[in-house]
Amino acid sequence: MTRAVELALRGPAAGPNPRVGCVLLRDGVVIGEGWHRGAGTAHAEVDALSGRQPVPGGRPANSVDARGATAVVTLEPCAHTGRTGPCTQALIDAGVARVVIAVPDPNPVAGGGAALLRAAGIEVVVGVGAEQVEAMLEPWLVAVRRGQPFVTLKLATTLDGRVAAADGSSRWITSPESRAHAHALRAEVDAILVGTGTALADRPALTARTPDGSPAAHQPLRVVLGDRAAPGDWLRITGHDPAAALAVLAEREVRHVLVEGGPTVSAAFLRAGLVDRVLTYVAPVLLGAGRSAVEDLGIGTLADGLRLATEDVRRLGPDVLVSARVRREDDVRGRHDSEETH
């Protein structure tokens, strides 16, 4: 399963479909490997059965003889026909004897593959490596289970929590290393959202760029929330309701949205309880005055403060990146089939 996760990570992080990897085994020997390369391409199971990926010590083949083999898959094989055929049927037709699945597919349209495999007389084991796969697929899994995009709030502040100086200047608070990391993050999300205030004042490009400054292969949907004018090629969502904005994005199959502020929009999403994770780039700079990273949250006393759970702290050049979890009331992380063996 660890190898299947490694293969899955070769696929695109953004998009309506999840990253999936598959390894085919016979007598403990790998006979096929595959992964999903994005919407419209072969799914991981079909890719592994095709034999086009060389396995250790082998060469690409026209197809893999999988009769009696075990298929190890990060996500439950799909049971529906979309742009491609159902992976469940491909495994049945290939004659596999056993399928090991990390996490069931929460998509009501695509799920149900495990039951069909069992009905065909194939042994199915669910839950192997579930924690590892849940972590890899968290934004996608949470978005599909919840019916609403996973939300990451990104902040870039001085050591005293300012996002701009008293004169309004804000470029650049953080280091080139932090900005490079933020661009890599943009290349993995489906959409970036800002308010009209930020769009008009800063005129941000909201593009994802590689370290050499060229455009990344994937460019997220650029979204502006508010009633004032906005760039014509951006998706404009009128009003100031974060939940309504997420509903619009869900209809577009956006799984992961990056909220880049400014302080008004950041506070709106936090007050609405719609943030899953906060990423804060902190620069060793002191201003003493200027705009705060987040506007009023309606909190009057320290005891009522929104306390987050730190997940990771890392150094980026002179800066520090803090990743913290926000516990949402509708948090659906980690819900997978408790069936470890069957």
Which residues are marked as active site? 45
Strands 98-103 and 123-126: parallel
User: Which tokens hold the place of 285?
Assistant: 């700079």
Question: Using an 8 Å Cβ cutoff, are 194 and 260 in contact?
Answer: yes
- Tell me the chain's radius of gyration from C-alpha atoms: 22
Burial code (b: 16+ CB inside 10 Å, e: under 16) for 290-310 equals: bbebbeeeeeeeeeeeeebee
* Closest listed residue to residue 11, CA positions, set 113, 136, 142, 131: 136
Question: Using an 8 Å Cβ cutoff, are 2 and 75 in contact?
Answer: no
Our CA angle for 85, 89, 90, nearest 5°, is 75
Q: How far apart are CA 132 and CA 253, in angstroms?
A: 24
What 8-state DSSP symbol labels residue 136? H
Could you tell me the strand order of the sheet in which 123-126 lies? 29-35, 21-26, 70-75, 98-103, 123-126
Distances (CA, A) of 273 to 58, 108, 146, 177, 330: 51, 26, 14, 30, 9
User: Hey, CA dihedral for 135, 140, 144, 148, is it positive or negative?
Assistant: positive
